[in-house]
Chain A
Amino acid sequence: MAINLKTPVVETREQRLGTIIRWDGKASELCEQSRSFCQSSGCSSASSLTEFESSFTQANMCSESITVSQATIIKNSVLIQHSPIGCAARQSFTSRNYRDLSERRGWDVEDPRSMCTNLDESDMVFGGLGKLEQSIRDAYERHHPRVIFIATSCATGIIGDDVDSLATQMQEELHVTIVPLHCEGFKAKHWSTGWDVIEHGILRQLVNKQPAQKQEDLVNVIHLGGHDVFTPLLEKLGLRVNLVMGGTTLENLALLTEASATVTMCSALSYLATGLEQEYGVPEIRATIPYGMQATDTWLREVARVLNRSDRVEAVIESEHRRIAKDLDFLRNRLKGKKGFVAAGAAFAHGLIANLRELGVEIEGSYSYHHDPVYDGRDARQDVLAHVVKTYGDIKNYTVSNDQHFQEYAVLQRAQPDFVVTRHGTQVAFLAANLGIPVLQVFYSNDGFGYDGLLTIGRNILRILPVKRFCKSIQEHASFPYAQWWLQQNNPFALNGCNGPRDQSRCGSRCGSQSRDVPDSEWCELPHMA
């Protein structure tokens, strides 16, 4: 299904891709169900991908957080959060994030420019556009940015502020690009839509719509931030990189349409790649993300093929294998027989599982914060989970859940790993520590990229294994705020039913929503709350 750039509001992932946030079972089963979904066209046909139920949910992130974070790390911009003050609490994080990235990108290290329209009760009655207009003017007067982002909020979505009209009007008056980002928290089930929102804005307003030339050696790399680990590898193929999304300049964004290919480091970021191909013919590299030896080899080959450098790629692959061989052996020896557990967003979780298995670590359980049965590129080659299952074997207990503490508790009890690798907020890390399990909290997903990524992840794990001592100490004095019966669970969906309805033909229309017309007796074979 093509992406629609004519409207300012992007369709959510669940609408476009059937994204789900609750599931548990074998990874191979999930792949199977996703594949059949992929083959059906649109959301109207029945599919076998079932999202589980959960009447108990705990707080986490929304797509507005993501959109706001991403907008902040675009240089020379001002972000206006059109919201009450609470949404702007994110600014202490985004500021820190911006400064870190500035340092890595060689920019002046300073605070980003972020504002909040600071709506109050009367604005809920009379509307907030007057304040938004004022804030846009303030942003312009104070900072003279080249682009102003406006991020909406639950409140402004509900009261119906017409942000687009105002943006268009002000853009004309002030001669500065103003990009409305429709990211009301309630709109999307999962925060990953937040990336789609910002990428939608970029495609609509920030790319160079009439690229003067094509640069045959330029590759767009859409990533989530961190060291530039791409240039050292891709320059071996005579390629240059245009890094976007993980700390970008407006020039980088303008360059997007001049590139000869796009790679994405996580499927949550692929909307932009698909848009560039659809609108500007910049081919999206359709291979699994390069985590693990095989995936990296395949990815490199595909990049080389699309960019006419197949003659060189085998030599590069061979020399890279040779270069890391000794260190990889060392790490494999140290990690042999260890049981790992991954908790991260898709597809980074899949990538990490590949890395860990490449290092010889056993994985019986993993936890992914959401699942996209298909990506915008609609290509089975991009299915990282399928690749992992095929290359390294199935994962017995694969859970999909949007970072729910009570469920993470249960899955860790079930998995009993020697260590955990995780990303995002410190929730899983803290939990694992309290269960006596040492944890590696990865901050930049680039850490796991390519051949060197194997070594980086491996070394990081070795560093945290001795921290088990600390975790055991904590465990002796730990307690969890759950009822006794939950503390004994190792089934994350024990509350509402874990296996979904036994008779799947009764599930009715899906599109990622839960079925309400399946009787209780048909659900769940395992005991739950009496």
Chain B
Amino acid sequence: MAFNLSISDVPNREQRLGTIIRWEGAASELVADSQFTCGPKASCCGGGGKKLCEQDAPFTQGNMCSECIAVTQAFMVKDSTVVQHSPIGCAAMQSFIARLSRDMTIQRGWNYRNPYTLCSNLTEDDMVFGGVQKLEQSIRDAWERHHSKVIFVTASCATGIIGDDIDSVTTRLQEELGTTIVPMHCEGFRARHWSSGFDISGHAMLRQLVDKNPPRKEEDVINIMHLGGPDIYSPLLAKLGLRTNLVMGGATLDTIYKLTSAAASSAMCTVLSYLAAGLEQEYGIPEIKVPTPYGLKATDDWLREIGRVTHREELAEKVIAEERARIEPELDKLRKELSGKRGFIAAGATFAHGLIADLRELGVEVAGVMSFHHDPIYDSNNIEQDMLAEAIASYGDVQNYTVSIAQHFQGHAALKRANPDFIIARHNMGALAARLGIPGAQIRFFNDGVAYDGLLNMGHLIQRTLATRKFSQSLAKHTSVPYKSWWLEQTNPFAKVNATEERGVEAYDELAV
């Protein structure tokens, strides 16, 4: 579905791509279903057609919303100011942003300071009378205090419901103050999964921050959309004589501006692909349409494709051979030690797929996966990028593949079923695993698992994690998880809640005062 850059709103992922957040079965089934419903073989994608089957779940637990993501993305632009137009609660994440900022500024070589984030702090009155005046005041305050070259304004559930016209304020003030002001329509309720927040960020960049008239193409520059962490791309691509524009994981306005003069784009996770697809659609910059570089084969293929697109095929082959040779001894050692170990993966879609590749490459069995959402297709409409398909084609199927937005109670069932030696997790699953006696590695930076060195990193991480198992084993003997015993025995994350004889309410008769 073509992007519409003339409006500031972005349709959410479930509308554009048929994204789902609940599923259970074998990974191969999911791949087949996805391609059936939304692949080129299907008649749909974005308008009519089948919707990928999604499970039911009356019981749900809280997690992130797309506003969190949009705000994080906004602050990750250097020297920006973010105005959260919301009641104070949405701004509770400011301390999280501050913490993230410290790591990011060091990794990018910037000077650390508290990030500039304001909240318009709406109260009950504003719900009745509207909050645009306070929004205007906060934007002015942001400008007076920090004079940033870009001010991002994010919406919230409250402002979406009361209907504050954010765009009219931002357009007017942009002209008056002479600085770029970017509205982001990221009301939490708008999307079922937080990944839509990335699309909103990509959309904003395409609309207001890229160079709309790029002078010429830099044939040796690749745009890399990534999720933050150390820059592992530049050293690797430099071997191909290529430079990188790193965006979305901490970038300057300058870098974003230059996106449109690059030779190609590669998104390190499909939740970041909106921007890549948009650059191709509007500026003809080809997206590297192969799976993300996790595991040997996908990394080789990725380098090859980059080589092809930038006319450096021979060089690419040379680098591939060299890199493989370089990591071979250590990889062998790791394979010997880790072979036969069973791991559980809990991460967001592409990252989970990538970790499957990494683990399997290391000889580790994948006992189970929880993927936080699933996109049956991507904005490029290209099934070649399907990392999950690639992973199971290269390394075999995953029998127990669960899609769930990090639901704790479902994680319990999935872990009980998998009974792994360790878990690699993003978000909150690590703590749960520890309570069940399973040592966990909580990965912070996505980039840690990418490409050749990423494989070794993962191997070392697993070794370190296995070594700490005494902690979780000790913990497991003395903790409990707050579910009814019948749920504690479940090994199917989607076991029907009303399949039991007992209705929850009757259990309380004896407690009735």
Given a CB threshold of 8 Å, the question of whether A touches B is answered with no
